[in-house]
Amino acid sequence: LGHPQQNEILHGLVIASLENYSPASRIGVLVRAGSRYETMDNLGVTHLLRLAASLTTKGASAFRICRGVEAVGGSLSVSSSRETMAYTVDCLRDHIDTVMEYLINVTTAPEFRPWEVSDLTARVKLDKELAKQSLQIGVIENLHAAAYKNALSNSLYCPDYMLGQITADQMHTFVQNNFTSARMALVGLGVDHAVLKQVGEQFLNIRSGTGTVGSKAVYRGGEQRHRSGGGLVHAVVASESASATSPEATAFSILQHVLGAGPRVKRGSNTTSTLSQAISKVTAQPFDASAFSANYTDSGLFGVYTICQANAAKDVCVIFIMLWYIFDELWELSDPLIDSNVITTVRVQKRSKEIGKIIHVTSGVRP
């Protein structure tokens, strides 16, 4: 496995690569243009942008993009979070130049023809209906809506009242304000850095500057309940934690693994975690619980997510709050929260999980 390489060129555009000598390559353009940068006038625009990746651009029609990527056995996908959007192409190493042409067109030269944008409404509705089938998505969306007053409270999905209301002009404005060089990164896996840099210098004719300055997320706390029927309760108890750039982010990550961040054995249970042991003392019914930590540039959320029987939900949530209070008091008193041997074990587990993710992303090539 080669060493990661990084350059900053073209008015702040970051180009990074990792050569893993795989026959398949993955190239992505990451943009700091997530849903937190939406305004009240264009809520849901990032949802449409996710679906608009295959629409006509100034350099290629929708048909050409679709057939061109298929012809070389590649794939083009778009994902987004509250802070970033990621445009990714996968292909064989020999076809990097071909798919890069389409990737650059999609990210830097979209046309957003009104009739094509209008046709996206049906796909947006389908996307929302599919999301409704996942209670986990609904819980996380409601959590952010309750926790934040602005910015991070914006949903990843277009609000119902904005269906069919977002125009091509609004999409153009959002792209112009957020898809700028200082907010973008070109990242390659399984590609020579010199080749990636050459492609970036040759094709990335993007707007310079820092773009829109998003508003700072304001944490307010709160409670939201949504009835879904059935005998199971999906519940989250969370509070504000550290931002991604804060030294405390690591401490929260370790605490997450101490409490329990999911089963350590595939398809196994999580009975040895602190959370599971505490909850099992108040209910004999089936349940699942895990801690989570979400870190953003200016804020973060730390909490516990549980799925349990409705008649046990109150007792389970009380356990969360008790554990929270104990850890908070020990933190304030500067007492050792956990035995040092436990901390060492958790750090090893955390590092093993990180290495596992790297192995997965690098197509199974071990460092």
Residue in the structure block whose two tokens are 């304030």: 332
Between 318 and 345, the higher pLDDT residue: 318
Residue in the structure block whose two tokens are 């595939």: 266
Decide if pLDDT at 344 tops 70: no
What gap in Å lies between CA 31 and CA 258, rounded to an integer? 33
SS (H, E, C) 176-229: HHHCEHHHEEEEEECCCHHHHHHHHHHHCCCECCCCCCCCCCCECCCCCCCCCC
Overall pTM > 0.75 = yes
Instruction: Quickly list H helices, the chain.
Output: 45-51, 62-71, 96-108, 114-132, 135-147, 168-178, 193-203, 248-259, 274-279, 313-332, 340-361
Helix, strand or coil, per DSSP, at residue 25:
strand
In tens, the pLDDT along 137-178 reads 999 999 999 999 999 999 999 999 999 999 999 999 999 999
* Torsion sign over Cα 273, 276, 280, 286: negative
Task: Compute the average pLDDT of residues 297-304.
Answer: 93
User: What's the residue count for the chain?
Assistant: 367
Task: Work out the end-to-end distance of the chain between its first and last CA atoms, rounded to an integer number of angstroms.
Answer: 6
Confidence at residue 366, expressed as pLDDT on a 0 to 100 scale: 38
For every residue of 304-324, DSSP letters joined together read EEEEEEGGGHHHHHHHHHHHH
List, in order, residues 6 or more apart from 50 with CB less than 8 Å away: 78, 79, 80, 85
* pLDDT confidence bin for 258, thresholds 50/70/90: confident
The one-letter code for the residue type at 221 is G
List, in order, residues 6 or more apart from 192 with CB less than 8 Å away: 17, 19
Bridge-partner residues for 288, per DSSP?
A: 307
Task: Compute the average pLDDT of residues 224-237.
Answer: 87
Decide if pLDDT at 79 tops 90: yes
Confidence at residue 364, expressed as pLDDT on a 0 to 100 scale: 42
What gap in Å lies between CA 288 and CA 286, rounded to an integer? 7
Structural domains of the chain, ranges and CATH numbers in brackets? 5-203 (3.30.830.10), 232-361 (3.30.830.10)
In tens, the pLDDT along 42-56 reads 999 999 999 999 999
Task: Compute the average pLDDT of residues 12-32.
Answer: 89
> Which token pair is 307?
């799925």
Query: What's 73's DSSP letter?
Result: T
In tens, the pLDDT along 321-334 reads 777 766 665 555 44
Decide if pLDDT at 254 tops 70: yes
102-116, 240-254, 330-344: which is most confident: 102-116
Show the CA angle centred on residue 77, arms to residues 357 and 4, nearest 5°. 40
